[in-house]
Structure 1
Amino acid sequence: MKNSKFARSMMAIVLGSVLVSTSVFAEESLMDKAKNVANDAGAKIDSSMKKVDGYMSDSAITARVKSALVDAKAIQSNDISVVTEKGAVTLNGFVSSQEQAEQAVTLTKGVDGVKSVNDKLHVKDGTKQSVGGYVDDSKITGEVKTKLLADDIVPSRHVKVETSNGIVQLSGTVENQAQSERAQSIAGAVKGVKSVKNDLSVKP
């Protein structure tokens, strides 16, 4: 009888030990899983933050370049647009002289964070432009944008349109050469357009 009670006691102790160790193991397993999940989440957050930082970096570079151009009294920056992608800055638009274009490029290269400069600036027509001329340019720009927006082939949201003295500049990025040629054709067909400077980049 005593042996039977002793055997039962030993069994209870052994079972208790097994249950405790199993419980501890389960807790450790859950803790490991929790740590792994936390690490994975942290890695994903770090990754997404890097992407955000990259985007902010380009935005900051664009802002710094625009500020530098505005501060440069020798450069008429009103007709210059700045686009930054991964530190590479593209200058689009019109300037009064080739000297201004060169100054804008040199100034941009000196801005912190700029890796390279793509110069797509054009020198304005030398003839003096009247107030009516500015209105016509705005009207032309609006009409070109409207026609590009209505077109099924050209991705208009990626195409920037600027006009000076009836000369239209197209800049931005398109998927293929056919889209680039289509955009140029549409712009050239708008009333009042003297010529089209096609500075659209085709994605590789």
Structure 2
Amino acid sequence: MRTDQEIQGDVQAELAWEPSVAHEHIGVSVQAGVVTLSGLVSSYAEKLAAEKAVRRVAGVKAIAEDVEVRRPGDARTTDTEIAERICSLFAWDAVIPEEKITVKVENGRVTLGGTVDWRYEVDAARKAAGRIGGVTSVVDLISIRQVPVTHDVKERIEQAFKRNAVLDASSISVIADGGTITLGGKVHAWREREIAERAAWSAPGVTAIHDNIFVA
């Protein structure tokens, strides 16, 4: 079992290795495998990149974040400018159904709403909004259109897990309640947890996922 000191050292090294993160401004503390990040970053996209880097480190069980997005006072972007840039970016991205997504900006906080057909459209919209300068956070309230759920959705997800070379399908449980899927069990790294969740989202009719998988 890895010690907190070992995890802390690896997290700091991974943040330094990630080119999109200014690691000098981010503090790292670890207690019982829970990593706490603190400090300042220059954009919301950098904040997400820091989180992703931490999840790549073995032994990380959870992340508590106290990182703030710093907006220079002489270059502050207005909410109107942020909204216009997000809408323009959505219009140019073929993956994002921009006519189905609403955008609200308040003090740099972006709220996305509307209804789309696929989960990957939600992910694309959220990532695109986070790349805009001046954005401090992105709240995803986008819903996925309900379609008939196949009777064997649980079996389809379990078979997808078995086909994946990274996952140990026997360690992950699947409970289906209509279009809502609850995942449980234990994996060895955040990457496995994310792979399992993505695989479950690919099943026809899935509209919500409760990911209760524990990272050992």
TM range (shorter): 0.3 to 0.5
The higher relative CO (CA closer than 8 Å, separation ≥ 6) is in 2
Provide TM-score, normalisation by structure 1: 0.34
Between Structure 1 and Structure 2, the one with more helix by share is 1
Between Structure 1 and Structure 2, the one with more strand by share is 2
Give the number of the structure whose alpha-carbon radius of gyration is greater. 1
